[in-house]
A = this chain, B = another copy of it.
Amino acid sequence: MDFWSLFVMDFVKQLQSPTLAFLIGGMVIAALGSELVIPESICSIIVFMLLTKIGLTGGIAIRNSNLTEMVLPMIFAVIVGIAVVFIARYTLAKLPKVKVVDALATGGLFGAVSGSTMAAGLTVLEEQKISYEAWAGALYPFMDIPALVTAIVVANIYLSKKQAKSAVLESGVEASEDHPSTQQEYRDQQKGSGNSRVKIWPIVKESLQGPALSAMLLGLALGIFTRPESVYKGFYDPAFRGLLSILMLVMGMEAWSRLGELRKVAQWYVVYSVVAPFIHGLLAFGLGMIAHKFAGFSMGGVVVLAVIASSSSDISGPPTLRAGIPSANPSAYIGASTAIGTPVAIGLCIPFFIGLAQAIGG
């Protein structure tokens, strides 16, 4: 069979996989007005267990494997994380009615990684019996943190430049006056120039301390330094798919309820949210193929890298960005990510990149 018929067949088959089916099911029942609610506390323990499990898998794999083969994919993960922000800077930010800081925050969120999307990708790969490196989940922070740091740094440099410029204009007009408002602006400008030397470490620290990443890093550390195999095989691993199905349902319902928020901001966010996951994923897929040719990175691993790139952060990213770029509009970047970016990444990009890998590799 040719590339496209293989691809389309695979795509349809994957929409029937439990993981994607629950996501679509969540959107459908939310659209039908269901009053079903999964309690918040259940969602947080599920996220904890999924990410601890991904961390444990990675940690146990790292303990038993050759670290040098991880180097190239890790470097590519960092490159993609940074590139995604600059893509948003030179595409989304240039569009009419889109503010530069909002575009940068959105880029940061789309460069950051969604643990749930990654979990869905790993699970669909397993359901399709496509093997991948067990440490692939550990690529998460290498894309997540650079994206968030880049977004915040670039946004603050932009803001301080803009303020410096407006301060120059104003100082020409109001130079002779000793007006309090000018003093205020001067102080802001000072603060602005202070911000231009954005402190990177607090952003990194805040990302690492967030619930999602700290659960994953805890699992990673326990996997590397202790012997958690019994509890991994008896609990975290078997519960994984089932818990993921509940989370997918919640994310489907959430995506539907967030659609309204998106309508309040420029329509370009909708276009970006649909297209960007594919662009980012293809960039990562291409880099992954280089690692596949030259460093023996598996095709399954290439898909994982592409899925991580196409995902946009839903848990850890938003609070970090809210603190790092307070002037950006959360309903723009959170709406774009949760209502469109995540369902597109899970429901379309995962089957797309698996189909692509199978059509190329098979």
Contacts and interface: CB of A to CB of B under 8 A. Distances in A.
A226 B18 contact: yes
- Count the copies: 3
A49 B239 CA distance: 13
Contact of A242 (B19, B25, B33, B239): B239
A218 B25 contact: yes
Interface stretch (A36-44, A171-179, A300-308, A354-362): A36-44
Contact of A37 (B17, B36, B44, B225): B44
Contacts of A17: 226-227
Nearest to A51: B36
A234 B242 contact: yes
A290 interface: no
A230 interface: yes
A35 interface: yes
Contacts of A215: 36
Contacts of A32: 208-209, 214
A86 interface: no
Contacts of A225: 16, 21
| Majority SS at the chain A contact face | helix
A230 B18 contact: yes
A245 B241 CA distance: 19
A228 interface: yes
Given A36-B48, A42-B41, A209-B34, A231 B227 contact: no
A127 B38 CA distance: 30
B38 A48 contact: yes
Interface string A85-110: 00000000000000000000000000
A236 interface: yes
Interface residues of A, number: 54
Contacts of A205: 33
Interface in A8-42: 15-19, 21-22, 25, 28-29, 32-42
Interface in A29-76: 29, 32-42, 44-45, 48-49
B227 A18 contact: yes
A4 interface: no
A268 interface: no
A28 to B, nearest CB: 8
Contact of A39 (B36, B44, B242): B44
A221 interface: yes
Contacts of A37: 44, 211
Interface string A202-216: 000100111100110
Interface string A241-255: 111011001000000
Interface of A: 15-19, 21-22, 25, 28-29, 32-42, 44-45, 48-49, 127, 205, 208-211, 214-215, 218, 221-222, 225-228, 230-232, 234-236, 238-239, 241-243, 245-246, 249
28 contacts: A15-B226, A16-B227, A18-B226, A18-B230, A22-B222, A25-B221, A32-B208, A32-B209, A32-B214, A33-B209, A34-B211, A34-B218, A35-B209, A35-B211, A35-B214, A36-B215, A36-B218, A37-B44, A39-B44, A39-B45, A41-B42, A42-B42, A45-B246, A127-B230, A231-B241, A231-B242, A234-B242, A235-B245
Given A38-B44, A49-B246, A235-B239, 9 more contacts: A18-B228, A18-B230, A18-B232, A22-B222, A28-B221, A38-B48, A39-B45, A235-B243, A236-B242
